[in-house]
Amino acid sequence: MLRNVPVISVAHLQKRYGSFTAVSDVSFHVEEGEIFGILGPNGAGKTTTVESLQGLRSVDGGVVSVLGFDPVTHAAEIRRRIGSQLQESALPDRMKVWEAADLFGSLRPTGPDWHELIADWGLAEKKDARFGSLSGGQQQRLFVALALANDPQLVFLDEMTTGLDPASRRVAWDLIRQIRDRGTTVVLVTHFMDEAENLCDRLIVVDSGRVVATGTPQGLIEEYGGGVRVRFSNGGADLDWLREVPHVHDVARERDRYEVRGDGPVLAHVAAALVAHGIAPVDLRQERATLEDVFLSLTGEAE
Amino acid sequence: MRLLAKMSWLEMKLFLREPLTVLFALALPLLVLFVMGGVFGNEVDAEFYRGIGAMDYYVPAYIALVTASVGLISLPVHIAGNRELGVLKRYHASSMPAATVVGASVVTTFVVALFSAVLLVVAASLGYDIGAPDSIPMVVAAFVLSALLFASLGVLLGAVLPNSRAAQALGVLLWFVMLILGGAGPPPEVLSGAMDVVGQATPLRHAIRTVQDGWLTLDAGLSWLVVGFIFAVATAAAIRFFRWE
Ligand SMILES: Nc1ncnc2c1ncn2[C@@H]1O[C@H](COP(=O)(O)OP(=O)(O)OP(=O)(O)O)[C@@H](O)[C@H]1O
Ligand SMILES: [Mg+2]
């Protein structure tokens, strides 16, 4: 397969609604077989961005290519090859689950068998239920299943797990990984940091219509997470010599509790140094910033 | 084509699952028929009804009226409502062709109008002494053209109106104006000058004349052309203005 040919490339995407600029400068690329995350606070422009890529919205600026097509001029070509779970859409209330699956499945007769798809997404018993009678999470799972009904090369999932219970979310993650393993590229818009951390190979953080960070979840944590913190408690003496330990930048103490900041293998060096000084705290532990900390600091919502 | 067939079948099932809509589509024409029949009977009065019996006049007129009620009310409410809810957006994102989505609604509308018209004719021939159509092919042709005319107007309304409430309001208003002034209510002969001019401008007036033309061998004049012309214009406009969201 053509590795390293981006499935999606976006350069300086811009989109205005009237005089309001929803997306002012978004650039990124997605490679084949990736699960690519788009994170950002409410109103950041995530949905606008992914819907522009699907040719569902006109764009006001930038160069975009999806599967080699321009969504402005070749939207139909793109839509035929992608799957999409929209943040907001609906089916007729009186349409039954199997009818929807059958209908969307017949768009691509060579696609997966809809019975299996429905079963994968936990809707086998709801086959004959009307769309309007499904719970929010069941409707959501149906939409994800329908997004896969045409055996897409690329699938857009806009808040796929919003409204799912914890068990269903785990199942959804597994299913998404399986889809990726079969070669489908996935673009995932999410508000769940654990989801992004678990699922995404790379991600961007968008804020106010701009990309504020790009990288792997681990890479972002290392870059923006403010390093490593090691904590322990001990008698209350000043342990200033810890500053000389490799990889340590700083030591702070509050009564008997210590916090050592640094980066890299701080824990190992601090542990060794403490033991060498005859100190063996039972609560010695390392704390790393989470993706959530990174997200909050990047999008200015920490305070 | 297979997709259109599947979608149409599905649309018809969805239609049947809405009891109130079914009742409206099938029972309303019968209600109008029996009210009017009760009032006017089928006496011939040379001054009114183009010189024929009231029921001989009204039954073909109601066939046209039936196509107008499903076309002008049910169809726009359906399309605008689906846009409002995001159903059309869902179809669009999955590359369901517009021709399939709209076509299935038109097919459903057509089938409902057909059922409703047959029911009407059966009820009328049981209840009143109405004559058989002079030319069945002409009546069928007029019915098909009339159904297409109002379906195209309905798709146009559904395309330009923002939501189902607006579609319902405007659809009912247009239908009612056409009913009164188009010749499906009071006989056209009693309409005063200005009202008759407006009546002449309603598509329903011409649709009625084409059906009556086939049924009673009356001269429909230019009405066949007018119906065809409005259908063509409305279809072009509907294609031009159709929106998914
Ligand atoms: N059709 C529209 N007309 C006008 N403004 C819009 C429209 N759609 C979105 N916006 C505005 O554009 C901005 C970005 O919206 P968008 O839906 O892309 O945000 P988002 O990042 O997906 O947010 P969320 O996390 O809440 O889903 C918001 O301020 C929103 O109010
Ligand atoms: Mg959104």
Among A159, A187, A215, residue at a domain's last position: A215
Query: Do A194 and A280 have their domain in common?
Result: no
Query: Do A269 and A210 have their domain in common?
Result: no
Number of folded domains in chain A?
2
CB A22 less than 6 A from any atom of ligand 1: yes
Query: Do A84 and A120 have their domain in common?
Result: yes
Please report whether residue A191 resides in a domain: yes
Whole-number Å distance, alpha carbon A42 to ligand 2 midpoint, is: 7
Whole-number Å distance, alpha carbon A73 to ligand 2 midpoint, is: 24
Whole-angstrom CA distances from A149 to A37, A50, A86, A244 are 22, 19, 14, 60
Q: For chains A and B, what is the number of CB pairs under 8 angstroms?
A: 58
pTM: 0.88
- Please name which of A269, A239, A277 lies closest in space to residue A257, comparing C-alpha atoms: A239
Range of the domain at A75: 6-215
Do A172 and A144 meet the contact criterion of CB atoms below 8 Å apart? Answer: yes
Q: Which two tokens stand for residue B241?
A: 């203005």
Please report whether residue A29 resides in a domain: yes
The confidence score (pLDDT) of residue B86 equals: 95
User: What is the distance in angstroms between the Cα of B35 and the nearest Cα belonging to chain A?
Assistant: 34
Q: Tell whether ipTM is more than 0.90.
A: no
The confidence score (pLDDT) of residue A129 equals: 97
Do B72 and B168 meet the contact criterion of CB atoms below 8 Å apart? Answer: no
Please report whether residue A221 resides in a domain: no
Q: Which two tokens stand for residue B32?
A: 């109008």
Among the ranges given (A37-41, A225-229, A250-254), the one the predictor scored with the smallest mean pLDDT: A225-229
Query: Do A140 and A246 have their domain in common?
Result: no
Please report whether residue A1 resides in a domain: no
- Check pLDDT > 60 for residue A3: no
CB A52 less than 6 A from any atom of ligand 1: no
A116-169 residue pLDDT tens: 999 999 999 999 999 999 998 999 999 999 999 999 999 999 999 988 999 999
The confidence score (pLDDT) of residue B44 equals: 67
d(CA B128, CA B143): 21
**DSSP state at residue B192:** -
Please report whether residue A19 resides in a domain: yes
* Residue A243 vs residue B219, higher pLDDT: A243
CB A47 less than 6 A from any atom of ligand 1: yes
pLDDT in tens, chain B (245 residues): 889 999 999 999 999 998 888 888 888 888 888 887 777 776 666 667 777 777 888 889 999 999 999 999 999 999 999 999 999 999 999 999 999 999 999 999 999 999 999 999 999 888 887 888 899 999 999 999 999 999 999 999 999 999 999 999 999 999 999 988 988 888 877 888 888 888 889 999 999 999 999 998 888 789 999 999 999 999 999 999 999 98
Query: Do A196 and A79 have their domain in common?
Result: yes
Query: Do A14 and A156 have their domain in common?
Result: yes
Do B245 and B89 meet the contact criterion of CB atoms below 8 Å apart? Answer: yes
Query: Do A68 and A110 have their domain in common?
Result: yes
- Please name which of B202, B240, B187, B225 lies closest in space to residue B68, comparing C-alpha atoms: B202
Chain A's closest residue to B3, CA to CA, is A106
Please report whether residue A288 resides in a domain: yes
- Check pLDDT > 60 for residue A59: yes
Ligand 1 site-directed mutation target among A14, A48, A50, A189, most atoms within 8 Å of CB? A48
- Identify the contact set of chain A against chain B, taking CB-CB distances under 8 A: 54, 56, 76, 79-80, 84, 86, 88-92, 94-95, 99, 102-104, 106-107, 143, 146, 149-150
Q: Which CATH number does the domain housing residue A99 bear?
A: 3.40.50.300
Query: Do A51 and A28 have their domain in common?
Result: yes
Query: Do A257 and A173 have their domain in common?
Result: no
Residue B94 φ then ψ, to 5°: -95, 15
Query: Do A71 and A194 have their domain in common?
Result: yes
Of the candidates B3, B87, B94, the beta carbon closest to that of A92 is on B87
CB A190 less than 6 A from any atom of ligand 1: no
Ligand nearest to the CA of A48: 1
For every residue of B36-72, DSSP letters joined together read: HHHHHTT-B-TTSGGGSBHHHHHHHHHHHHHHHHIII
Among A186, A215, A244, residue at a domain's last position: A215
Residue A154 φ then ψ, to 5°: -145, 135
Contacts of B7 in chain A (CB under 8 A): 103
The confidence score (pLDDT) of residue B46 equals: 64
CB A48 less than 6 A from any atom of ligand 1: yes
Among A165, A193, A215, residue at a domain's last position: A215
Residue type, A45: G
pLDDT-derived band at A1 (thresholds 50, 70, 90) equals: very low
Which atom of ligand 1 lies at the shortest distance from residue A41's CA? 25
Q: Which two tokens stand for residue A250?
A: 């700083």
CB A58 less than 6 A from any atom of ligand 1: no
- Check pLDDT > 60 for residue A303: no
d(CA B68, CA B71): 5
Beta strand A154-158 with A82-85: parallel, antiparallel or unpaired? parallel
| Residue to substitute from B16, B79, B94, interface A, most A β-carbons within 10 A | B94
- Check pLDDT > 50 for residue A302: no
Do A232 and A284 meet the contact criterion of CB atoms below 8 Å apart? Answer: yes
**DSSP state at residue A204:** E
Query: Do A30 and A85 have their domain in common?
Result: yes
Q: B79: buried, middle or exposed (CB in 10 Å: 19+, 13-18, 0-12)? A: buried
Ligand nearest to the CA of A56: 1
Contacts of B10 in chain A (CB under 8 A): 95, 99, 103
Chain A's closest residue to B81, CA to CA, is A92
Q: Which CATH number does the domain housing residue A273 bear?
A: 3.30.70.980
Please report whether residue A69 resides in a domain: yes
The confidence score (pLDDT) of residue A4 equals: 61
Query: Do A139 and A285 have their domain in common?
Result: no
